[in-house]
Amino acid sequence: EVQLVESGGGLVKPGGSLRLSCAASGFTFSSYTMNWVRQAPGKGLEWVSSISALSSSIYYADSVKGRFTISRDNAKNSLYLQMNSLRAEDTAVYYCARVAIAAAGTLWFDPWGQGTLVTVSS
Amino acid sequence: EIVMTQSPATLSVSPGERATLSCRASQSVSTNLAWYQQKPGQVPRLLIYGASNRATGISARFSGSVSGTEFTLTISSLQSEDFAVYYCQQYNNWPPWYSFGQGTKLEIK
């Protein structure tokens, strides 16, 4: 069974840092572009960042560029999101999501992890 | 940046009736559009990709169509489990710049 499990969320003060992890199983992790998507409480979905299968291509939404860093460890089947200089508006559930087809770039997302909540508040 | 605009924000429909949800792209995305369903406290679930292709395991009551930059998700004969929030997503850009619509809440009338 294909599975994505996020961890690392929690409460952090404005200006603080947090590192999210996403553990993948049930598929060849090293063959897929991976993404982070977030959803603020009661709001819609916002794409955050993408990383290609071999980490050669990395992209960010303008809202997080320069503050967040996406990375992956294919040997550990894991995806990461290092979040620095956190702001109240970064409060959201953060989902990791796989593109649907191996070796593909821009595609729809399937599956999604269950999400981890990040709360930025003093 | 491609902006996706969904309408209406809320749609009230009776069980057994048909629901029609719209999503408009600010510029051409070809057929590079997906629809997701999200129920309260749950993860988004893929319904449609490529504008009109049902994902694995999705009921035939769900169908997608496109006309230019206007995309439509139709749910025929609504069942209780269909009441949820629906999001469209374009994946046409390169380099990747995914954008989602703001969502349509489908509620029981």
For the stretch B32-59, pLDDT in tens is: 999 999 999 999 999 999 999 999 999 9
Tokens of B71: 């995309």
The alpha carbon of residue B81 is apart from the nearest alpha carbon of chain A, in Å, by 19
Q: What distance in Å separates the CA atoms of residue B73 and residue B36, rounded to the nearest whole number?
A: 10
At B96, the pLDDT band (50, 70, 90 cuts) reads confident
Residues A43 and A80: their CA atoms lie apart, in Å, by 23
* Statement: residue B92 has pLDDT above 90: no
Q: In terms of DSSP bridges, do strands A116-120 and A92-99 run parallel, antiparallel, or are they unpaired?
A: antiparallel
Query: Chain A contact for B52, CB < 8 A?
Result: no
Tell me whether residues A108 and B49 touch, CB distance under 8 A. Answer: yes
In the predicted structure, residue B5 carries a pLDDT above the cut 90: yes
Torsional sign, CA A112, A102, A108, A79: positive
pLDDT for position B97: 81
Which of A9-13, A22-26, A72-76, A106-110 shows the lowest mean pLDDT across its residues? Answer: A106-110
What average pLDDT does the structure give for chain B?
A: 95
B97 and chain A in contact, CB less than 8 A: yes
Q: Residue B92: helix, strand or coil by DSSP?
A: coil
